[in-house]
Amino acid sequence: MVTVQDESGREVDGAVFTLKMSDGTVREAKVLGKAPDFDIALMRLTDTTNLTPITLGDSSGLRVGDDVVAIGNALDLGDSPTITRGIVSALDRSLRESSTVTLHGLIQTDAPINHGNSGGALVDARGHLIGINSAGVPDAQNIGFAIAIDSIKPLLVDLEAGRTPTATPTAFLGVSVSQTPSGVTIVSVTDGSGAGKAGIEVGDMIKKVANTDISTIEQLGEVLRTIMPGTTNMVRVLRDGVQIDLNVQMGSRDD
């Protein structure tokens, strides 16, 4: 069973928790492992009789506007789950969870995610698990985040073995982007960033980073996660119909 680290307790590894099922029965689950850098924990139920595992989905296939449903126990209001409905508002978001942890590759949704929803499932229209609800934003309306299931899958083998996966430093280009029918368009450039210093401008369309062609925000996020901060990489942009190759020194998304 996958949940967020907060729901498994931050201090006690191997702890046993009592879980109340939706039918009112009580079962025990043991924490197998945690990944604090990803806010994920893996637990194993001691008794899985009459339980049907949820089908794992494919978060890489999500598109902005897709229908999603968030399931949890919002505000601890009762014994039955709370279900909220929304859409995928954005993809590959980053959110600083604490002074030491920044989560990347998040799914942003307008499905309300309140206290108690954290650690619950975010499912697509077929009922397949595409994310684990992580956080809402206090005092913000209709902004919630879920950890994409595709970023969780590679962690499960280590967690099951009791090993703690750690995040590698992630490159920061220094731009905000928007998905358009033509590709990935830059809507803002961070002052002092590698992109700004290299001459990347608002309105440029990113066509290539290093050796990878870029046509979607997801592709951009994936290639940046393979690049080490501090390295210089070629970024090809399309500006006024002309392709321009620029050398960009990558920053760190955790700075």
Q: Which is higher by pLDDT, 94 or 7? A: 94
Same domain, 143 and 64: yes
Q: In this structure, is residue 135 part of a structural domain?
A: yes
Q: 145 and 68 in one domain? A: yes
Q: Is residue 118 part of a domain?
A: yes
Residue 11 pLDDT class (50, 70, 90 cuts)? very low
CB 150 within 8 A of CB 23: no
Please provide the average confidence, as pLDDT, over all residues in the chain.
85
Q: Which residues pair with 90 in a beta bridge?
A: 108
- Cβ pair 36, 148 in contact under 8 A: no
187 domain residue, yes or no: yes
Structural domain that includes position 232: 171-252
Q: CA 76, CA 39: separation in Å to the nearest integer?
A: 21
Check which CATH number belongs to the domain holding 107 and give it: 2.40.10.10
Residues 6+ apart with CB under 8 A from 197: 248, 249
Answer yes or no: is 181 within a domain: yes
Asked if the structure places residue 24 within a domain, the reply is: no
pLDDT digits (tens, 9 = 90+) for 28-56: 998 888 888 888 889 999 888 888 899 99
Final residue of a structural domain among 84, 119, 150: 150
Residue 114, pLDDT > 80, answer: no
| pLDDT at residue number 139 | 65
Q: Are 198 and 248 found together in one domain?
A: yes
Q: Say whether both 176 and 246 belong to one domain.
A: yes
Does 87 or 163 have the greater pLDDT score?
Answer: 87
Q: How confident is the model at residue 9 (pLDDT cuts 50, 70, 90)?
A: low
Range in 50-64, 140-154, 158-172, 213-227 with the lowest mean pLDDT? 158-172
Res 203 pLDDT > 90: yes
Q: Is residue 228 part of a domain?
A: yes
Tally of domains in the chain:
2
Determine, yes or no, domain membership for 142: yes
Cβ-in-10-Å burial (0-12, 13-18, 19+) of 68 comes to buried
**Residue 185: inside a domain:** yes
Same domain assignment for residues 142 and 183: no
CATH number of the domain residue 191 falls in: 2.30.42.10
Q: What's the confidence (pLDDT) of residue 82?
A: 82
